[in-house]
């Protein structure tokens, strides 16, 4: 039996029945990482010592015949913008190259309390700014389905580790599609929860009103398990919300599925469109009602997203000044220290987004750009609220096409931004959305996006089970 192919549930059952020990399970993944990561380059840090120590504790518990939770002893990985105490947290940036996290993020504390085994920190686009994991300061991660293709971004390393059986599950962050798009490109399941359902404490901020931590898993069932473990209100995050997870099962019979005509325009590759249409047809065959809907302000979502995200990024990233933490390049004056630190520490894409955001927030332009974007955001939110009065969930593509070639778009930032065209609206509106694999095009995975009403993660995940 190849232990690395285990889902969360399979690994849990094996540990309970003592078919293998937690150390054996962990070592199997560590051995695979050692072989596979040489060509895939998904890991920034392998936390071998931490993982084996955690695994030994679980084995001791099993030996004492104590009950173990479903995530206890299950090896997982963490995107490198989420704090794990005592381990590096670089955000794939030179400015935080040697930064050691002084505390655990709330999601990590919850998983540690449940006995999770942390195998490592994963490569990503620097400060989560990108859609291909080519913007990392340290390495370019490859897609396991085709090493010449990107894995998507910005949670590319996390998605690759799950797809290539280097862990059972992963945590990523999603600001405009950074969990769903790499999940789609790598053929795994990626959930962006409702804004406020999962604490952001300990996640290095990119755009605070859009960021959300979410699971990347091998199966939909595993995504449900991880979401239930990490969700809930947190006193350390004032935007987190106390809500009750609805565990009632959802059937497809009579379910109203909305298909926005705006999502099936010319931006989408014809063959990708056909795969998504087949997935919609599959739901119809199982009793769902397909209803065409319109989201008229959706055409403004990408521009709105990039104005809000870059504006918030320019504010959030001002803390990296060479004084408090991270890289410090001392100049003769304080201003010189700021400038030299940021010039050397930040990559080109991060600088581009900081400058865009600073311009949008500057005197004389705030009303014309940032304020207007927030007003349009409200209109987009109202479009979805109207749609959800007619339908239960919304189906759409995740990306316009499957994974593109490494280097193909890196010198054309606008074409990379267009990769987010289908994924930014759930972030702008705070809605939950899941990417589930529904087919392949030229041996490259294609994902379907299912968008739900606030806090209806279990509903969209139940629906997704017909595909994965």
Active-site residue set:
79, 154, 178
Number of Cβ within 10 Å of residue 324's Cβ equals: 8
- Measured at the CA of 69, the angle between CA 242 and CA 212, to 5 degrees, comes to 40
Distance of alpha carbon 54 from alpha carbon 361, whole angstroms: 46
Per-residue tokens: 326: 């991270």
3-state secondary structure of 92: coil
Distance of alpha carbon 164 from alpha carbon 254, whole angstroms: 37
By the 8 A CB rule, do 209 and 215 touch?
no
Sign of CA dihedral 68, 73, 76, 81: positive
Ordered DSSP codes for 319-383:
G-SSSSSS-----SSHHHHHHHHHHHHS-HHHHHHHHHHHHHHSTTTTIIIIIHHHHHHHHHHHH
Distance of alpha carbon 348 from alpha carbon 329, whole angstroms: 18
| H or E stretch at 12 | helix 8-16
CA distances to 358, 369, 451 from 456, in Å: 36, 32, 9
CA distances to 60, 253, 256, 391, 456 from 387, in Å: 52, 20, 11, 6, 15
Number of Cβ within 10 Å of residue 317's Cβ equals: 25
Distance of alpha carbon 260 from alpha carbon 147, whole angstroms: 34
By the 8 A CB rule, do 437 and 447 touch?
yes
CA atoms within 13 A on the CB side of 252: 18
Distance of alpha carbon 153 from alpha carbon 215, whole angstroms: 14
In a 10 Å sphere around its CB, with 0-12 CB exposed, 13-18 middle and 19+ buried, how is residue 358 labelled? Answer: middle
Distance of alpha carbon 441 from alpha carbon 271, whole angstroms: 7
């Amino acid at each position: 039996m190849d232990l690395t192919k285990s889902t969360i549930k399979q690994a849990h059952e094996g540990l309970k029945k003592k078919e293998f020990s937690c150390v054996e399970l962990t070592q199997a993944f560590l051995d695979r990482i050692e072989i596979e990561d040489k060509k895939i380059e998904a890991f920034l840090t392998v936390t071998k010592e931490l993982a084996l120590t955690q695994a030994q504790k679980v084995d001791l518990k099993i030996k004492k015949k104590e009950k173990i939770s479903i995530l206890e002893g299950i090896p997982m990985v963490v995107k490198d913008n989420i704090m794990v105490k005592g381990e590096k947290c670089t955000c794939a940036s030179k400015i935080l190259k040697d930064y050691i996290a002084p505390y655990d993020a709330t999601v990590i504390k919850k998983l540690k309390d449940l006995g999770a085994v942390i195998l490592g920190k994963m490569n990503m686009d620097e400060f989560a700014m990108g859609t291909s994991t080519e913007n990392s300061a340290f390495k370019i991660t490859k897609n396991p389905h085709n090493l010449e293709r990107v894995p998507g971004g910005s949670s590319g390393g996390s998605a690759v580790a799950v797809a290539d059986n280097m862990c059972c599950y992963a945590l990523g962050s999603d600001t405009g599609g950074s969990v769903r798009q790499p999940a789609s490109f790598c053929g795994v399941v990626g959930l962006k929860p409702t804004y406020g359902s999962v604490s952001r404490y300990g996640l290095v901020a990119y755009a605070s009103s859009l960021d959300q931590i979410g699971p990347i898993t091998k199966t939909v069932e595993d995504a449900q398990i991880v979401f239930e473990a990490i969700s809930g209100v947190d006193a350390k995050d004032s935007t987190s919300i106390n809500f009750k997870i609805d565990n009632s099962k959802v059937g497809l019979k009579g379910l109203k599925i909305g298909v926005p005509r705006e999502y099936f325009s010319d931006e989408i590759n014809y063959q990708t469109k056909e795969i998504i249409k087949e997935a919609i047809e599959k739901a119809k065959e199982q009793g769902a009602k397909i209803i065409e809907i319109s989201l008229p302000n959706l055409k403004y979502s990408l521009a709105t997203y990039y104005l809000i995200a870059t504006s918030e990024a320019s504010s959030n990233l001002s803390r990296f000044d060479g004084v408090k933490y991270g890289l410090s390049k001392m100049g003769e004056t304080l201003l010189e220290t700021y400038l030299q630190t940021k010039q050397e520490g930040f990559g080109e894409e991060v600088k581009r987004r900081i400058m865009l955001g600073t311009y949008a927030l500057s005197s004389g332009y705030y009303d014309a750009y940032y304020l207007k974007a927030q007003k349009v955001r409200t209109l987009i939110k109202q479009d979805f609220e109207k749609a959800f009065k007619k339908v239960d969930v919304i189906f759409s593509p995740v990306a316009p096409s499957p994974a593109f070639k490494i280097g193909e778009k890196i010198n054309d930032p606008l074409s990379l931004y267009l990769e987010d065209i289908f994924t930014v609206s759930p972030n702008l509106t705070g809605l939950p959305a899941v990417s589930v694999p529904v087919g392949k095009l030229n041996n490259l995975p294609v994902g379907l996006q299912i968008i739900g009403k606030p806090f209806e993660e279990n509903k969209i995940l139940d629906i997704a089970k017909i595909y994965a």
